[in-house]
Amino acid sequence: MFETIKKLAGSFGVSGSEEQIREVIKNEIDGKVDEIKVDALGNLIAVKKGSGKKIMVAAHMDEIGVMATYIDEKGFIRFSNVGWVWQYFALGQRVMFKNGTAGAVFYEQKLKEIKDLKLSNMYIDIGAKSREETEKKVKIGDTACFVGDTVLAGNMVMSKALDDRGGCAVLVKTIQEMPDTDNEIYFVFTVQEELGLRGAKTSAFGIMPDIAIAIDVTDTGDTPECELMEVKCGGGPAIKIKDRSFIAHPEVRRLIENSAKEIGIPYQFEIMEQGGTDAGAIHVTGGGVPSGVISIPCRYVHSPVEMADITDIENCVKLLRQCLKGY
Ligand code: CO
Ligand code: ZN
């Protein structure tokens, strides 16, 4: 599991530029499904054929990042966010453009109060001496991801982009040991989730499944003085009840809970006050798709040091497999 997460999380795939991560995932699942296709927006769809129910399983392969918007005379790059990037998390971080160019994210030193820090008074330094030199490596509109190596800390895996390469790893592992079922399963690695669940919208419309299950990370309430929340790392997969985009369909929620009971793994319920996930778009597609979410409890979401319990992620694989067999 760790090696799979490391490979996926280490790949480049800022929203709208998912080419590299898509190839990496494709190589991991090649030959393990009946069909692999890429739709108009770039979603990667792996199909296991069957005569039973049509089930869509979604995890987003895009990650948050930054986009070059302006290059000054000295070669410094101004940027905007792609997805939700908090300026305080970005400060002092290293970013990497798709072509491998490394950059340091820093801020205008005239800034007196750190509370006035905004992405608009920050810049990326790629070590160039002029606008011309920068433009040889970075063009306006190029995106960069944050750099955060994937390492183990106790039983926790720490990395950038566990949101949602952790979920992608759950799908990849499930595909590699495909559950024995007649159901027709559409494993969808979606694009542009971080920009507003965009890939999930089109892929769900294209598939029109009987039910859908999304796999994504959720916040936790288990760090010092954090917001109160009933989810903790190591407590098992979290079954989503509600977030800003979605309320779980009772039938799918029950399927997930019963599946967890059947295989005897720990689980917890999640109500996330901020953010949403792919199921938010899928469940309002067409005439509606009953949907549920299995969440990976994750600390420090949208930072380069996202942390999740590796046993929780392994249990997500077991739980998803049981759901796909049991429906
Ligand atoms: Co996210
Ligand atoms: Zn996510």
What's the CATH code of the domain at 142? 2.40.30.40
Per-residue pLDDT at 178:
93
Domain final residue, candidates 146, 172, 206: 146
**Do 170 and 129 sit in the same domain of this protein?**
no
Q: Which ligand is nearest to the CA of 85?
A: 1
Same-domain status, 214 and 227: yes
For residue 276, report the phi and psi dihedrals to the nearest 5 degrees.
-150, -170
Q: Where are the alpha helices (DSSP H) in 62-130?
A: 87-90
Q: Which range marks the domain in which residue 118 is found?
A: 65-146
Same domain, 196 and 300: yes
In this predicted structure, what is the pLDDT of residue 48?
A: 98
State whether 82 and 164 are in the same domain: no
281 plus 197 within the same structural domain? yes
If asked whether residues 115 and 42 sit together in one domain, one would say no
164 Cα: distance to centroid of ligand 2 (angstroms): 5
Catalytic residue among 63, 184, 193, 270: 193
Q: Residues for the chain: how many in total?
A: 327
Is residue 210 domain-shared with residue 303, that is, in the same domain? yes
**Taking the model in full, what pTM does it have?**
0.97
The alpha carbon of 32 and the centre of ligand 1 are apart by a number of angstroms equal to 28
Neighbours of 116 (CB within 10 A): 10
pLDDT number for residue 229: 94
pLDDT given at position 33: 97
| Residues, Cβ < 5 Å to ion ligand 1 | 163
Instruction: Assess whether 193 and 303 both reside in one domain.
Output: yes
Q: Is residue 320 part of a domain?
A: yes
Neighbouring residues of 300: CB distance < 8 A, sequence distance ≥ 6: 306, 307
- On whether residue 172 sits in a domain, the answer given is yes
Q: What is the mean pLDDT of each run of 10 residues along the chain (327 residues)?
A: 98 98 98 97 98 98 98 98 97 97 97 94 98 98 97 98 98 96 98 97 98 98 95 98 96 98 98 94 97 98 98 98 96
Is 194 noted as a catalytic residue in this protein? no
Q: Assess whether 187 and 222 both reside in one domain.
A: yes
Q: Which of 93, 121, 146 is the last residue of a domain?
A: 146
Indicate whether 155 belongs to any domain. Answer: no
What stretches of the chain adopt beta strand conformation (E)? 35-38, 44-48, 54-60, 65-71, 77-82, 94-97, 102-107, 122-125, 143-146, 151-153, 156-159, 184-190, 211-218, 238-243, 246-247, 268-271, 291-299, 306-309
What Cα–Cα distance (Å) separates residue 210 from each residue in 38, 171, 201, 205, 290? 21, 19, 15, 12, 7
Q: What is the predicted pLDDT for the residue at 203?
A: 98
55 and 84 share one domain: no
Residue 221 lies in a domain: yes
Q: Is residue 107 part of a domain?
A: yes
Residues lining ion ligand 2 (Cβ < 5 A) are 163-164, 216
Cα(73) to centroid of ligand 1, in Å? 34
Q: What is the CA(296)–ligand 2 centre distance, in A?
A: 10
Helix, coil or strand: residue 291: strand
165 located within any domain: yes
Q: Say if residue 38 is in the same domain as residue 121.
A: no
pLDDT value, residue 127: 98
Nearest to 190 by CA among 292, 279, 284, 285: 279
Q: Does residue 151 fall inside a structural domain?
A: no
Structural domains counted in the chain:
2
Residue 153 lies in a domain: no
The answer to whether residues 183 and 118 belong to one domain is no
197 Cα–ligand 1 center, Å: 10
Q: Looking at the CA of 216, which ligand is closest? A: 2
**Ligand 2 centroid to residue 49 C-alpha, Å:** 27
Q: Residue 147 has what DSSP assignment?
A: P
Ligand lying closest to the C-alpha of residue 194? 1
The CATH number assigned to the domain holding 188 equals 3.40.630.10
Task: Compute, in angstroms, the gap from residue 301 CA to the centroid of ligand 1.
Answer: 7
